Structure 1
């Protein structure tokens, strides 16, 4: 079974995406495609009945009116240029310009580990900033603290709609990676000074 065998769903809004995702039991979510496109090329596409393509769902905005809100389909390139630290620094550190222009917040957040190394380059920055994940489960939207979301990443299917976070007063990010353009960070550390103190992840 490949992409051509899957029903393609292209919701026009976040609400449509939540309805189309349903309980998520037989759905593959297609965000930027940096992980799924190689799987298609090597005929390893997940064998699920429906593919949810979110490119038209309007989930690609960054809002900094008070708390910062970043949509799930926002590219890492857009995040890198947003000035929202330490998230922007983490995004700038991912792979190369080609990947950053295609990869998304939601895809990076939900990426499973690979044999080449861990993924989820933004996780340390999101943890340090005490981000909250806006997601949908079985047709209902909810907000989850980032640490709880990551701890239950393999639990019930959830559709990521975006993240929200307090803009830190000061922040920093650093990572160690293998010397290859497309490699994943071996280790990352982020620090954020929030209203109630300093957090390190």
Structure 2
């Protein structure tokens, strides 16, 4: 075994801790101050990295840390703009790989003086346009489906309202012109003089 192997940055147990899910915020902040750039890079790549910490890590002296931050899909737009002016090619290329990068930033990077940055930005721009075209192609179908569902609900509501209206109209008509009811005729009966009811045997 090579001497000092156990102390190599990649074998630092803090790297695994920095990547562990559900890490408390105070622990994230503590690990962001690690002397090991790999630990800081792991923190920078976390999607639950606090926004304030993102802004701070954008100034990290290690380009690996800034590159990891540049790939973070939850990166703030203001931090993206800052990193788009980074002097490191690795950071700029990493920024083009961010799924949340905007077309404005990619447009700026396409005109970068470094060829690697130009190519990465152009490729990302093509991918972004293809994705947007695909979304636009599915939009009419989705819009038609939503319209059909809304039309069906409206027809059901109109049918229900029509039925309720007819019922209410009938009730109102009965209330306005109630049917005539013949008065009950009561017949008064009186005993007939000289009449004797038969006597049962």
Superposed pair shares fold, TM > 0.5: no
Query: Higher strand fraction: Structure 1 or Structure 2?
Result: 1
Larger Rg: 2
Question: How high is the TM-score relative to the length of structure 2?
Answer: 0.24
Question: How high is the TM-score relative to the length of structure 1?
Answer: 0.24
Query: Higher helix fraction: Structure 1 or Structure 2?
Result: 2
